[in-house]
Amino acid sequence: MIKQVFFVDFYNSLIDGNKENCISIVSQLFNDGVEHADIYIELYQNALYKIGKDWDKGFCTIVDEHISSRIIEFLLYRFAPNVSKKNKNGKKAVILCIDKEQHSIGALMASHTFELNGWATLYLGSSTPNKESLKLIELKKPDILGISFNFYLNIKRLTDLIELIRTHYPKQKIIIGGQGLKENNINLLSVFPDIQYFKSIIELDKFLKEN
């Protein structure tokens, strides 16, 4: 559990665009032995959620959101997990965002979570066209394809991609993460019962450790 004082300091630093103080806070937390998953959820994710809510209320601007997102993205790369010493399990994962999905921070955190659990990962970032997703499955033959989906209005693009994959690669293991299905996942998952949806990095990490 990350103390509230750290979160408040981190959040205020994000809004102020103070990257150096954000680096200092995260560095201290890692030095204190805080796990990646806890920092990702309790610090990065909660800060982005709060910024979104504050933007809805008019307390911050879209510029604040963009600056904060870029700082957190920088921190994710700056403090990326050192996987060179991790035991490799011989499995591969491809992590991507659906076409037109520009929010890629969650997908990057998912990629790191796979790596921390011994997986080799290929992270593609935002907005991957469907045809390119198919090419990657053929080329890389991943054990798991992870799809990040945050904007619910893109639901048709998500279902189109899944149906396309099922047509060409019916046995491909698919998981989904992101806020796009947080409140609306029941109907979709009933159509695709073999696909797993993870609401958080903590859930994904638990699944990978158990499997």
The secondary structure of the chain as a DSSP string is ---HHHHHHHHHHHHHT-HHHHHHHHHHHHHTT--HHHIIIIIIIHHHHHHHHHHHTTSS-HHHHHHHHHHHHHHHHHT----TTSPP-S-EEEEEEPTT----HHHHHHHHHHHHTT-EEEE--S---HHHHHHHHHHH--SEEEEE---GGGHHHHHHHHHHHHHH-TT--EEEESGGGTTT-HHHHHHSTT-EEESSHHHHHHHHHH-
pLDDT at 183 over 70: no
Q: What is the CATH number of the domain that holds 106?
A: 3.40.50.280
Examine residue 86 and state whether it is found in any structural domain, yes or no.
Answer: no
**pLDDT for 170:** 93
**pLDDT for 52:** 81
129 and 176 share a domain?
Answer: yes
**pLDDT for 202:** 87
Give residue 100's domain range. Answer: 92-210
**pLDDT for 144:** 97
Structure tokens at 154: 């893109």
66 and 97 share a domain?
Answer: no
* Burial class of 136 by CB neighbour count within 10 A (0 to 12, 13 to 18, 19+): middle
pTM of the complete model beyond 0.85: yes
123 and 177 share a domain?
Answer: yes
pLDDT at 186 over 70: no
206 and 102 share a domain?
Answer: yes
Examine residue 129 and state whether it is found in any structural domain, yes or no.
Answer: yes
Examine residue 83 and state whether it is found in any structural domain, yes or no.
Answer: no
Between 186 and 51, the more confident residue is 51
pLDDT (mean) for 170-175: 95
**pLDDT for 190:** 75
Q: How confident is the model at residue 87 (pLDDT cuts 50, 70, 90)?
A: low
pLDDT at 185 over 80: no
**pLDDT for 42:** 92
